[in-house]
Amino acid sequence: MKQVEIIRILDDTSFIINAGTDKGVEAGNYIDVLKRDRSYNYIAKVEEVYPELSVCSRYGEQRLFYGDVVRVRYNDDIQITTKVIKTKPNKRRRKKRG
C-alpha cells in the first residue's frame, strides 16, 4: 500500500491527503497525522472524499506541513487483512570454540 501523506495545505485548518474511496476512506473517519521530528501525533477528521483525494480538517493548534505522514483510522466494520511475514530459521549454526 502506498504511503498516505499530506499533499496540499489549503489553509490553517484544512489539508488534502492522497487517499480516497479507492483506499476505503470515508467521510467522518479520523486520521492520525504523524510528525517526523517529534514523537507525538495529532488527530484530524476527513470531511470530503473523492476517488483519489480526501479533504481533511485538523483539531488543535499544531502546524501542518507538506509531506507529513498520515495513518487512517478505519471503522471496525471494514475488514482489513494484514500479512504476517515469518522468517525461516537458520539451519546452519556456528560451532562454539573453546
The more confident residue out of 77 and 16 is: 16
Under CATH, which number does the domain 6-73 receive? 2.40.10
Flag whether the pTM goes above 0.75: no
User: Which residue ranges make up each domain of the chain?
Assistant: 6-73
| Residue 54: per-residue pLDDT | 92
Other Cβ atoms less than 10 A from the Cβ of 44: the count is 24
Question: Is pLDDT of 18 > 50?
Answer: yes
Residues 6+ away with beta carbon under 8 Å from 57: 13, 14, 44, 45, 47
